[in-house]
Homo-oligomer: A and B are copies of this chain.
Amino acid sequence: MVAKAAPRNGATVEELAARFGERLSTSHGVREHHGKDESHFPYALPDAVVFAQSTADVQDVVRICARHKTPVIPYGTGTSLEGHILAIHGGISVDLSGMNKVLRVSAEDLDVTVEAGVTRKQLNNHIKDTGLFFPIDPGADASLGGMASTRASGTNAVRYGTMRENVLGLTVVLADGRVIRTARRAKKSAAGYDLTRLFVGSEGTLGIITEVTLRLYGIPEQISAAVCAFPSVKAAVDTVIAMIQSGIPIARVELLGAPLVAAVNKFSKLDNKVAPTLMFEFHGTKAGVAEQVEMVAALAQDNGGDDFRWAHTMEERNKLWQARHDAYFAGLQTRPGCRAVSTDVCVPISNLAECIAGTEEDMEKASMPIHILGHVGDGNFHLMILIDPNNPAEDRESHEINERLVRRALSLDGTCTGEHGVGMGKLDFLLAEHGDAISVMRAIKKTMDPDNILNPGKILRMN
């Protein structure tokens, strides 16, 4: 007779079950849902999922896990792109989606405090009558706790910055279950170490974010959006570079390669010219937007761009940006049955043309289709490398292309990840990027989470 193996982290699960009752699940379906994100990494299931409804709930989960040295992994919407939420060492997934209350809106201070599970669209819907909005838009309707954890950015970052610039303060549960608030609501402070920025981008490895205070912005008097086709990716990129160097406060500027424009046309029922394309959005007063448009149109013309094609109404604008956000899905359909490997380098704008030129050579030589797109105003762009999931050679090749791209970006003083984060996918690149600074990150992790229970295996290898 073979003894049945004890369930992994059984004592932890038992204790959590006693505390949380039906809000703890060990069902395979729920665990599977919490053991996969939007990356290419295979499932890694947690041993149980706790549905938290308060900071106190999260404290209890962490305290119980700490006692048993069981890993604990925060879960928002599961839209991370580098395996961030995978339970690669088992443990407990703490699902924060039930912490979805907007706790406080201060229109006077242009700020808001939300529970970590509130999504960006929910927030913008909640505040729509205040004349304010929250600009950070990574595409997915991610939770704001998750966006803070990964230092997310997206299409509006060129004007409004990333989560780094837009988080004013956090409530965080530490590895021993204590809870701290990292900052008060003053717009600036010189009062000690910047713990807010330390937790932003720490991917759940230093603490679990349960509340987020965010900056808001007035909805601009005038918003205009347009697309413009160019004779080459280089011509489009050169336009962007000139624009950024002129200090034009563009709100969005997105690049799509020609094959992706074709895919987007098909997917979103649009009829844009099939050519390398920039999508623009301008925010400001009526006069300010008119000035920006004039300057950008002149720069586009200098680089052989077509006339702007305007999205006049809010409905047309929403359709345009929805199409941009759906570009990923549109791209996937260009190779049925494929899987996409996403890259995410970001370089100083003066090095963007060189970085993209080298990358285009790689794209031409590749044995599979590759789409290019991105937030070029920040020097940040993505490749979607479409591989056959059943062909290990393509998987290898995609990783080689990514590695060459990252090395190229690093040699141009750039970063291996502009916005997706490290997760499980960029650990080795992080070493190449930061050198000895990694030892400082590791020391901080070790002192803040000595038993390595907080999302272990992400950002840093601790063994």
Measured CB to CB, the residues of A under 8 A from B are: 106-111, 150-153, 157, 161-162, 164-165, 174, 178-195, 197-198, 200-202, 206, 217-218, 241, 244-247, 284-285, 287-288, 291, 344, 346-350, 378-380, 409-410, 413-422, 426, 429-430, 433-441, 443-448, 459-460
Contacts and interface: CB of A to CB of B under 8 A. Distances in A.
Contacts of A190: 150-153, 201, 344, 415, 417-422
Contacts of A441: 192-193, 195
A179 to B, nearest CB: 7
A444 B287 contact: no
Contacts of A201: 190, 192-194
Contacts of A200: 194
Contacts of A379: 186-187
A183 B195 CA distance: 18
Contacts of A192: 201, 422, 430, 433-434, 438, 441, 459-460
B349 A187 contact: yes
A141 to B, nearest CB: 19
Given A437-B195, A440-B180, A189 B346 contact: yes
Contacts of A244: 110
A413 B194 contact: no
B288 A247 contact: no
B186 A413 contact: yes
A352 to B, nearest CB: 10
Nearest to A170: B437
B184 A433 contact: yes
A247 B110 contact: yes
A180 B186 CA distance: 31
Contacts of A195: 437, 440-441
Contacts of A180: 434-437, 440
Given A180-B436, A285-B291, A164 B245 contact: no
Contact of A447 (B194, B288, B416, B446): B446
Contacts of A202: 193
Nearest to A291: B285
A184 B447 contact: no
Contacts of A417: 189-191
- Shortest beta-carbon contacts, A-B, top 5: A197-B197, A108-B350, A218-B247, A189-B415, A447-B447
Nearest to A179: B436
A89 B248 CA distance: 50
Contact of A430 (B178, B191, B459): B191
A426 B181 CA distance: 19
Contacts of A348: 106, 108-109, 111, 185-187
A430 to B, nearest CB: 5
A289 to B, nearest CB: 11
B188 A419 contact: yes
Contacts of A110: 244-245, 247
A150 to B, nearest CB: 6
Contacts of A433: 184, 191-192
Contacts of A437: 180-182, 195
A445 B440 CA distance: 11
Contact of A418 (B186, B285, B287): B186
Nearest to A375: B188
A276 to B, nearest CB: 22
Given A106-B348, A189-B346, A189-B417, 7 more contacts: A106-B350, A184-B415, A186-B415, A187-B380, A188-B380, A190-B418, A192-B433
A109 to B, nearest CB: 4
A295 to B, nearest CB: 10
Given A285-B288, A379-B187, A420-B190, A350 B413 contact: no
